[in-house]
Amino acid sequence: MRDKVSSPVFTEEERVGLRRGVQRLREVWILLSIQFAEVREEWHWIVLMASLFPFTTLLFFRFFVPDPSAEMIQRMVTGNMVFALTIMGVNTMAQEIARQREKGHFTFYASLPISRLSFVLAIFARGFLTCLPSVLILGVLGQLVFGLAFTLNPGIVPVVLLSLLACTALGSIIGFVSPSPATASLMGQLLMMFISFLTPVMVTPEMLPAVLRWIGSIFPTTYIAEALRIVLFQGWTPQVTQNALLLTVYVAIGFYVVARRVDWRVEA
Amino acid sequence: MMRNLFEVRELTKIYRKGGVRANDRICMDVRPGEILGILGPNGAGKSTLIKQMTAMIAPTSGTIRYLGRNVTAEPLEVVRRLSYCAQDPYAITSLTTRDALVYTGRLRGMSPSDARARACALIARLQLEEVAHTRVGRLSGGQVKLVGIAAALVGRVEALILDEPTNALDPAKRRLVWDVIVQRNREEGTTVILVTHNVLEAEGVVDRVAVIDYGRLLGLDSVGRLKDMVDERLRIEVTCTFGRRCVAERALKGMGFVEVLGENRLRLYVDRDRAGRVLDQLVANGEEMACEEYKVIPPSLEDAYFLLGGKERIGHAG
């Protein structure tokens, strides 16, 4: 008769690791569900608010800029997508984080046996969900208003993903470093206007004074605008790779800063 | 001998901002299965103490052990075993009461069916049925507080730490919450640490009391022993015949120390060994002594609290 007791497939250590991995996945899923419920509650306002401003700007250019060049149109469309991103990813996210922080919401999560990493992932996922609709809407409306045709490149997916996460990271950092929700709101709005109109988002860098070009290079939105424009109208190029790498660095820095700043329990 | 649940030794917390010494060399033990009340005026350092016990903040010096584990070194292991309800409003506001509790249970490692069953039982016990399917964000402040308490109770944990659990609740709900807490303690043997400045309410619930003020532990003992500390003398409150307080005061002075409480009210402090004789005299000669009514006042936890140091701060606050 065959011996039924065979050596285990996994060692005890591996089994513990697996269990922990499954547990992490489960908690990320539950936290995501909670964050999704928060977004779901007000998604129509999110879409309306995030689309209205950039769409108005888009129409303004359509009506008042006579005979724009193809490149200008491309910049207007992608620039307004970035405008939508700064509204939702930076401004709204900063306000929301500051509000939750003031109300002590993070203390509740820190008191649960969940990891800080899972929680920060959920915060970023919330930002992603908040930004996505307006970016998509602006893309579609931009095509309709200016009769553009985007190249359907699979590279669009990682660029959009990184763009959304980089803006979320910036918004989250503002939310965590602001002493109050009012300050976060003020900082978010200032940045939103500055980034959209005084950095190379809707215009070429050459059109701006050197100091604004230099300041613009600090913000991820400069690289987002360029990466989106190229990938949507030309496909994946080395410049997109460069921008994507820079955005990855922004996301990583943002993730690190948020993880450090979130009100969490002590760690061994 | 049963091992202590918490062992706090020389615990000191100095906040970097402002250099406030919130806890100063606190030493205390929490026994398994007990309900320990931590009393003290606002700003006494109670919340700081429990935030360290729940690994929410790190001590400046000293140690906290939970069943032998160093809380600062193994925070996740400790957090897994206890439930902490902070003063802040409940965080999950976009879900219905029921779903929020189920999700909290799931985040505490419960199976979906267990979390659902537990959430439903708590909703019934805390009389939240009417708002079970209403989003938490739409509830009143008191209802949100109840949901927060239910969230702390939803997990199967060894210890519950509740910071001012009855704030923002009406008297009926406050009583309900105390009942639920005591029930959990009796039925599941859950150790409960209650932080409150509501001394009168806590008296009927707690087994032992720690009194804290200015970051220091002023006393830690059973309610009965703390009361005994208050006064070795019996207190008798006397209502005098209107306009004849001086007569009563003169008569009572021969029996003990007399304190004037009001126009026709006196308090008499009598040594316990003489109490019987004094009461006999009051019964026999009450009319003559201008004493219309009298009642024996047992020492309360509030008296103990005041004696240990709460009085001055409460006086300022009040």
Examine the domain organization and report whether B99 and B189 are in the same domain.
yes
Query: Does B40 map to a domain?
Result: yes
Interface test with B, best of A26, A32, A34 (most B CBs within 10 A): A34
pLDDT of residue A248: 96
Query: Does B310 map to a domain?
Result: no
| Alpha carbon of A120: minimum distance to chain B alpha carbons (Å) | 15
Pairing of strands B61-66, B216-222: unpaired
How many percent of chain B have pLDDT more than 70?
A: 96
pLDDT of residue B318: 28
Taking CB atoms and an 8 Å cutoff, what residues of chain A touch B54?
111, 265
> From the list A38, A103, A115, which residue is nearest B94 (CB)?
A38
CB contact under 8 A, B95 and A37: yes
Average pLDDT over every residue of A44-67: 81
| Domain carrying residue B256 | 234-298
Pairing of strands B35-39, B191-196: parallel
Across chain A, what does the average pLDDT equal? Answer: 87
Query: Does B275 map to a domain?
Result: yes
User: Are B169 and B142 a contacting pair, CB within 8 Å?
Assistant: yes
Domain boundary among B228, B250, B268: B228
Q: What is the CATH number of the domain that holds B151?
A: 3.40.50.300
pLDDT of residue A16: 84
CB contact under 8 A, B94 and A41: yes
Average pLDDT over every residue of A49-54: 79
Taking CB atoms and an 8 Å cutoff, what residues of chain A touch B80?
113
What's the pTM? 0.81
Interface test with B, best of A20, A99, A265 (most B CBs within 10 A): A265
Chain A residue with minimum CA distance to B162: A111
Q: How far is CA A114 from CA A13, A74, A117, B133, in A?
A: 21, 44, 9, 26
A103 touches chain B (CB under 8 A): yes
A118 touches chain B (CB under 8 A): no
CB contact under 8 A, B108 and A112: yes
Query: Confidence band (pLDDT; 50, 70, 90) for B18?
Result: confident
B73 touches chain A (CB under 8 A): yes
CB contact under 8 A, B79 and A40: no
| Alpha carbon of A21: minimum distance to chain B alpha carbons (Å) | 13
Examine the domain organization and report whether B128 and B155 are in the same domain.
yes
User: Are A161 and A113 a contacting pair, CB within 8 Å?
Assistant: no
Query: Does B315 map to a domain?
Result: no
Is the confidence at residue B203, as pLDDT, over 60? yes
User: Are B166 and B201 a contacting pair, CB within 8 Å?
Assistant: yes
Examine the domain organization and report whether B59 and B175 are in the same domain.
yes
> From the list B75, B108, B135, which residue is nearest A266 (CB)?
B75
Which residues lie closer than 8 Å to A211 by C-beta, 6 or more apart? none
pLDDT of residue A170: 92
A26 touches chain B (CB under 8 A): yes
Query: Does B317 map to a domain?
Result: no
Chain B residue with minimum CA distance to A116: B76
CB contact under 8 A, B54 and A41: no
Q: How many CB pairs under 8 A join A and B?
A: 79
Q: Indicate the number of domains in chain B.
A: 2
Examine the domain organization and report whether B91 and B131 are in the same domain.
yes
Query: Does B303 map to a domain?
Result: no
Chain B residue with minimum CA distance to A22: B109
| Alpha carbon of A172: minimum distance to chain B alpha carbons (Å) | 18
| Alpha carbon of B86: minimum distance to chain A alpha carbons (Å) | 7
> From the list A31, A108, A268, which residue is nearest B73 (CB)?
A268
| Alpha carbon of A158: minimum distance to chain B alpha carbons (Å) | 30
> From the list A23, A40, A110, which residue is nearest B56 (CB)?
A110
B17 touches chain A (CB under 8 A): no
Examine the domain organization and report whether B287 and B169 are in the same domain.
no
Examine the domain organization and report whether B162 and B81 are in the same domain.
yes
Examine the domain organization and report whether B58 and B205 are in the same domain.
yes
Give the residue among B173, B140, B177 at the shortest CA–CA distance from B162: B177
Give how far the C-alpha of residue A144 lies from the chain's centroid of Cα atoms, to the nearest Å.
25
pLDDT of residue B317: 33
Examine the domain organization and report whether B153 and B263 are in the same domain.
no
pLDDT of residue B51: 94
> From the list B86, B103, B106, which residue is nearest A107 (CB)?
B86
Domain boundary among B208, B228, B248: B228
pLDDT of residue A29: 92
* Tens-digit pLDDT profile for residues A154-209: 999 999 999 999 999 999 999 989 999 999 999 999 998 899 888 999 888 888 99
Query: Does B309 map to a domain?
Result: no
Q: How far is CA A256 from CA A242, A259, B143, B187, in A?
A: 21, 5, 37, 44
Examine the domain organization and report whether B215 and B288 are in the same domain.
no
Query: Confidence band (pLDDT; 50, 70, 90) for A267?
Result: low
Examine the domain organization and report whether B120 and B80 are in the same domain.
yes
Query: Does B312 map to a domain?
Result: no
| Alpha carbon of B281: minimum distance to chain A alpha carbons (Å) | 60
> From the list B76, B88, B104, which residue is nearest A103 (CB)?
B88
pLDDT of residue B74: 92
Examine the domain organization and report whether B173 and B73 are in the same domain.
yes
Give the residue among B156, B186, B162 at the shortest CA–CA distance from B174: B162
Which residues lie closer than 8 Å to B141 by C-beta, 6 or more apart? B89, B168
Of residues A78 and A61, the one with the higher pLDDT is A78
Examine the domain organization and report whether B221 and B259 are in the same domain.
no
Q: What is the CATH number of the domain that holds B262?
A: 3.30.70.920
Tokens 């001998």 correspond to: B1
